[in-house]
A = this chain, B = another copy of it.
């Protein structure tokens, strides 16, 4: 088993802050596009067991690290919001 701990961390951040990003659409397609976009921009943190995700998460309790993740996430939410691939675009 290998997993990029940031997949889970970013997903949790998106859940927590999505309302504050004021995205045009928050459908699964748009959410996945934001996650894929941001995960391609930040340094991956692959681990070989679930409990190691907790260690990585703890590292990001550091305010500065968390802020940099949030800034990247907000930027990607803006990009997807302005260029949605889904068909839910408000007329």
Q: Which of B2, B36, B46 contacts A2 (CB 8 A)?
A: B36
A20 to B33, CA, bound (A): 38
Question: Whole-angstrom distance from the CB of A12 to the nearest CB of chain B?
Answer: 14
What are the residues of chain B within 8 A of A2 when measuring CB–CB?
Answer: 7, 32, 35-36, 39
Q: Judge whether A36 and B32 touch: CB under 8 Å.
A: no
Interface residues of A in 36-62 (CB under 8 A from B): 36-37, 39-40, 43-48
Measured between alpha carbons, how far is A46 from B48 in the docked complex, in Å? 19
Given contacts A35-B46, A36-B48, list 19 more A-B pairs with CB under 8 A: A1-B32, A2-B7, A2-B32, A2-B35, A2-B36, A2-B39, A4-B39, A4-B44, A29-B48, A32-B48, A36-B46, A36-B47, A37-B46, A39-B44, A39-B46, A40-B43, A40-B44, A40-B45, A44-B44
